[in-house]
Amino acid sequence: MTTHHHVPRRFLPPYVLERIATQGNDRLRDCARHTLVDDRHFRARAGSTGLPPGSLQPGQPTRYIHSAEQQRTLPGQLVRREGDGASGDPAIDEAYRWLGATYRFFWDVLQRHSIDGQGMALVGTVHYGQDYENAFWDGTQMVFGDGDGELFNRFTIALEVVAHEMTHGVIEREAKLVYAQQPGALNESIADVFGSLVKQYQRGETAEQADWLIGEGLFTERVDGRALRSMAEPGSAYDDPVLGRDPQPRHMEDYVETEADNGGVHINSGIPNHAFYLAAMTLGGHAWEHLGPLWYDTLLDRRLAQESDFTTFAGLTLDNARRRFGATSREPQAVADAWHAVGVLLP
């Protein structure tokens, strides 16, 4: 298996853009094609060289928001830094607010001081490209397009999109999961899990109150869909004439074997996503209080190899649940039942 450590971690899967490039109107086809070209030719920057100063005070983020001003130059023009007041530009202010909310979750809940655990600067760029229909983590920073305005709103609109991309940075520094096939789908799933948990923590929601949607608000009113993905009901997030139908499976019986999308990293992530949802619903209450720390334990577990598959990850969550909560507690049983329910572990 080839490594994909510094393939940019993009929010919108290529199969969605490819569909728009054939099914959309003339303008939408152009937007999708230009985004696909950008995505193919962009080379991620490895490591954290050249970053501005981070935070020396645990519990306090250091944010730098830039505008690419519809260009493709990163990081672009610095437009808001830590402590500055609102700019009045929704994309700038959403990026600032949601990076702060994601930092706060990782600090308050998991005692992690930024992406690298050592106060790394949180660098975001908005207004990237012209009608750019994506968001990504490039190895050092988060980047957000404005969308096309017809199908997609700006990519800062959803807290969980920003949290998803920032979590990719955490995953890269801890597990370095190969971005292909099952390890890549785990990479995407973990980013979705923490994206959803950040939103739930921000809103003070229980598992029962949460929407479990990833990319809520990203679609315009023209799209027949609720979000890009649903952890509660993978495969049901959208069904639209232009975008097609949400292809995510929720069970290993429907696992998609494909060469596209790096071996289906955005497609098959629906299976571990659904396992997390099922365990959270069984346990009830605030998912960030029990399952969040457990998934984080597993992300940090040195037994989680770069090429770990679903079964390996599931086994580690079960082992860590026994360690954290005790073998006879509710949590290990809920985790085991969830992985059984999606066909990853045998009953």
Measure the CA–CA gap between 181 and 251, rounded to whole angstroms.
16
Say what the alpha-carbon torsion angle 36, 3, 47, 133 is, to the nearest 10 degrees: 20
Which DSSP symbol is given to 45? P
Q: CA 141, 96, 189, 312 torsion: positive or negative?
A: positive
The closest of 128, 148, 135 to 30, measured between CA atoms, is 148
* 217 Cβ contact list (under 8 Å, min separation 6): 153, 157, 158, 227
Q: Which two tokens stand for residue 11?
A: 């929010």
> For residue 282, what are its two tokens?
């069984």
Closest CA to 185 of 308, 85, 86, 94: 308
Query: Which of helix, strand or coil describes residue 81?
Result: strand
Active site residue 164: no
Burial environment of residue 16 by CB neighbours within 10 A (0 to 12, 13 to 18, 19 or more): buried
Instruction: Write out the DSSP string of 199-261.
Output: HHHHHT--TTT---EESTT-B-TTSSBS-SEESSSTT-SBEETTTEE----SSGGG----SHH
**153 close to 219: Cβ distance less than 8 angstroms:** yes
Active site residue 66: no
Backbone dihedral angles phi then psi of residue 28, each to the nearest 5 degrees: -65, -40
Q: Quote the strand ranges of the chain, DSSP E.
A: 9-10, 63-67, 77-81, 122-126, 135-137, 142-144, 213-214, 229-230, 239-240, 244-245
Which among 165, 172, 174, 331 is annotated as catalytic?
165
27 close to 150: Cβ distance less than 8 angstroms:
yes
Distance CA 295, CA 299 (A): 6
Q: Which residue out of 127, 266, 274, 290 is catalytically annotated?
A: 266
As annotated, the active-site residues are: 165, 266
